[in-house]
Amino acid sequence: MCSRNRRRSLTAETIFKSEPAWEVRSAGTEAGARIKVTAGQLGWADVIVVMEKRHKERLRQKYPEALAAKPCVCLFIADDYEFMDASLIEVLREKMREHFPAAGK
C-alpha cells in the first residue's frame, strides 16, 4: 500500500503478481487513490505491506479490527519514484527479500 496507488504499490503489484507463491493486490490510503484500501481487502490479505510508516498508522486508525491479527510490514520507501522506475523495482525487490527471503526464488 502507498498513498495514491499510482506509483510504488502499483509497481509492486505489477512486478510481484507473477510470483507463484503469492497473490498480490495493491491499494492506496488516501481519498484520491486509484484504488482505495478497504476493510475487505485487508481481510483478504495474509500480510499487509506498506511503503511508509504513515500508511501503517492510517490503516491502524481506520481499520483497527482488520489489522489486529495481521502482520504489517513497512518497506520504508519514500515517494521519490515514477511507476515502473528501474530504481524503484530494484529497491522493491531488495526490501521484499529482506522481509520475505524466499522472494524471487
Domain of 94 in residue numbering reads as 8-99
Is residue 35 pLDDT above 70, yes or no?
A: yes
Q: How confident is the model at residue 49 (pLDDT cuts 50, 70, 90)?
A: very high
Q: What's residue 103's pLDDT?
A: 59
Whether 43 is covered by a domain: the verdict is yes
CA 22 to chain centre: 13
Whether 56 is covered by a domain: the verdict is yes
Mean pLDDT to the nearest integer, 42-64: 96
**pTM exceeds 0.85:** yes
Whether 2 is covered by a domain: the verdict is no
Own/partner long-range contacts of 54-59 (Cβ < 8 Å, ≥24 apart) = 55/1, 55/2, 55/3, 55/29, 58/29, 59/1, 59/29
Mean pLDDT to the nearest integer, 78-86: 97
Whether 105 is covered by a domain: the verdict is no
Whether 62 is covered by a domain: the verdict is yes
Whether 31 is covered by a domain: the verdict is yes
Q: How confident is the model at residue 104 (pLDDT cuts 50, 70, 90)?
A: low
Q: Domain tally for the chain?
A: 1
